[in-house]
C-alpha cells in the first residue's frame, strides 16, 4: 500500500473544505433571488405587467454601479462598516439622483433587506442568481461566466458561439469577475461545467499527486 503524503493530504483537505464553504455561500444568493422572484410573480399576478422588466432594469443599474463606481463596491464589501451605517449609506446612494443609480422601489427595498441582513458583499451573486431565474421564466438558458478579468465584446461572442456549437441555442450570459481563478474561464450552464481556469488545473494536479503518493 503506498505511503501517504501529509502535504498532499493537507492540500486535499483544504480544497474539500473550500468546496464545502463555497457551496454554503452559493446557497445564500439563490435563496434571496428566489424571494425577489416570488415578489415579482405576486405583483405580476395582481396586474403589474411591467414588474419583471422593471426589476431587471434596476438590477442592471446596480451591476453597472458595482463595476464602474469603486466607492460603491467598497460600500458593499467593507466588513468594518456597522450594519446600520452601511444601510444608511446604501439607501442614501440609491435615493440620490446625482449618483446615477436609479432603481425602482422594489429593488431599493430588496437591497435594503440584503444590506440589513449583512449580505451586501453577495449582491453581485444575488443579481446573477435572479437573472438565471428570470431567464428560466422566459424559456432561456443562463450561462454563468466567471473570469479573472472583465470580458470584452469579442470574448462574449466567442463564448456564445462555443455554447451554440455545444447545443445551447438561447443563452444569456451572466458575468462575474473572480481574480482567484488566476486565468482562463469557468462557464456553468445548467448542470454542466466548462472549466479552463488555472485554479482548476492546480486542483486536478493536487488530486493526481494524492493518487501517486
Instruction: Assign 3-class secondary structure to 119-136.
Output: CHHHHHHHHHHHHHHHHH
What pLDDT was estimated at residue 200?
77
C-alpha distances (whole Å) from 137 to each of 30, 44, 142 are 15, 13, 11
Strand arrangement, sheet containing 141-147? 171-177, 141-147, 185-189, 192-195
Residues in the chain with pLDDT < 50? 1, 21, 23-24
What pLDDT was estimated at residue 160?
87
For residue 63, give the nearest of 129, 142, 143, 155 by alpha carbon.
129
Burial of 58 (0-12, 13-18, 19+ CB in 10 A): buried
What pLDDT was estimated at residue 109?
94
Q: How far apart are CA 195 and CA 189, in angstroms?
A: 11
Q: How far apart are CA 10 and CA 30, in angstroms?
A: 31
pTM, two decimal places? 0.63
Domain residue limits, the chain: 1-139, 140-213
- Selected from 3.40.30, 1.10.3470, 3.40.1350, 3.40.50, the CATH number assigned to the domain covering 140-213 reads 3.40.30
What pLDDT was estimated at residue 1?
45
Amino acid at each position: 500500500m503506498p505511503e501517504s503524503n501529509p502535504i498532499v493530504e493537507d492540500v486535499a483537505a483544504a480544497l474539500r473544505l473550500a468546496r464545502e464553504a463555497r457551496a454554503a455561500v452559493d446557497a445564500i444568493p439563490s435563496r434571496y433571488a428566489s424571494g425577489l422572484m416570488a415578489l415579482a410573480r405576486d405583483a405580476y399576478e395582481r396586474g403589474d405587467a411591467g414588474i419583471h422588466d422593471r426589476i431587471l432594469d434596476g438590477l442592471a443599474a446596480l451591476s453597472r454601479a458595482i463595476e464602474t463606481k469603486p466607492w460603491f463596491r467598497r460600500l458593499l464589501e467593507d466588513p468594518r462598516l456597522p450594519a446600520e451605517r452601511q444601510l444608511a449609506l446604501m439607501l442614501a446612494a440609491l435615493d440620490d439622483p446625482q449618483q446615477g443609480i436609479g432603481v425602482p422601489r422594489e429593488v431599493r427595498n430588496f437591497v435594503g433587506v440584503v444590506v440589513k441582513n449583512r449580505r451586501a458583499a453577495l449582491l453581485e451573486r444575488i443579481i446573477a442568481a435572479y437573472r438565471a431565474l428570470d431567464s428560466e421564466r422566459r424559456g432561456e438558458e443562463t450561462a454563468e461566466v466567471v473570469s479573472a478579468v472583465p470580458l470584452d465584446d469579442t470574448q462574449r461572442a466567442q463564448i456564445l458561439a462555443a455554447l451554440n456549437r455545444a447545443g445551447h441555442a438561447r443563452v444569456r450570459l451572466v458575468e462575474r469577475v473572480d481574480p482567484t481563478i488566476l486565468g482562463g474561464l469557468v462557464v456553468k450552464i445548467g448542470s454542466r461545467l466548462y472549466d479552463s481556469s488555472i485554479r482548476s488545473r492546480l486542483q486536478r494536479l493536487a488530486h493526481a499527486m494524492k493518487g501517486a503518493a
